[in-house]
Homo-oligomer: A and B are copies of this chain.
Amino acid sequence: MSISTTPLRIAVIGGGFMGRMHAHAWRTAPRFFHLGRPIELSVLVGRSPDGGDVASSLGFDSYADDWRDVVDRDDIDIVDICTPGDTHAEMALAALAAGKHVLCEKPLANSVDEAERMADAAAAAPGVSMCGFSYRRTPALAAARRLIADGRLGEIRHVRAQYLQDWLSDPDAPYTWRMDRDRAGSGALGDIGAHSIDTAQWLTGDVITAVSATMRTFVADRPVMAQAQGLGGVGDADGARLPVTVDDAAAFTARFAQGALGVFEATRIATGRRNANRIEINGSEGSIAFDFERMNELEYYRADDPAGEQGLRRIQVTEPEHPYAAAWWPAGHGLGYEHLFIHQAVDFVHAIVGGTDASPTFAEAAAVQRVLAAVEASANHDSVMTPVERNPR
Contact = CB atoms under 8 A, between A and B. Distances in A.
A311 B315 contact: yes
User: Looking at chain A, what size class is its interface with the partner chain?
Assistant: 35 or more
A330 B230 contact: yes
A331 interface: yes
A312 interface: yes
A274 B386 contact: no
A68 to B, nearest CB: 27
B331 A212 contact: no
A300 B295 CA distance: 21
B381 A17 contact: no
Interface string A320-355: 111000011111111111110000000000000000
Number of copies: 4
Contacts of A165: 332
Contact of A388 (B143, B170, B332, B370): B370
Interface in A11-40: 17, 20, 23-24, 27-28, 30-31
A36 B373 CA distance: 49
A47 to B, nearest CB: 16
A27 B20 contact: no
Interface string A204-240: 0001111111101010000000000111000000000
Interface of A: 17, 20, 23-24, 27-28, 30-31, 57-59, 112, 116, 120, 143, 153, 155, 157-158, 160, 162, 164-167, 169-171, 207-214, 216, 218, 229-231, 249, 251-255, 259, 261-263, 265, 267, 269-276, 280, 282-287, 292-296, 298, 300-301, 303, 305, 307-316, 318-322, 327-339, 363, 366-367, 370-371, 373-375, 377-378, 381, 383-391, 393
Given A271-B283, A374-B388, A383-B383, 14 more contacts: A17-B330, A24-B31, A112-B389, A160-B265, A208-B388, A211-B388, A213-B253, A271-B303, A274-B316, A311-B316, A312-B314, A334-B334, A336-B336, A374-B389
22 contacts: A31-B58, A31-B59, A116-B391, A157-B269, A157-B270, A169-B284, A210-B387, A212-B385, A230-B328, A263-B265, A267-B282, A270-B280, A270-B287, A271-B285, A272-B282, A273-B287, A275-B333, A308-B315, A311-B315, A311-B316, A313-B314, A370-B389
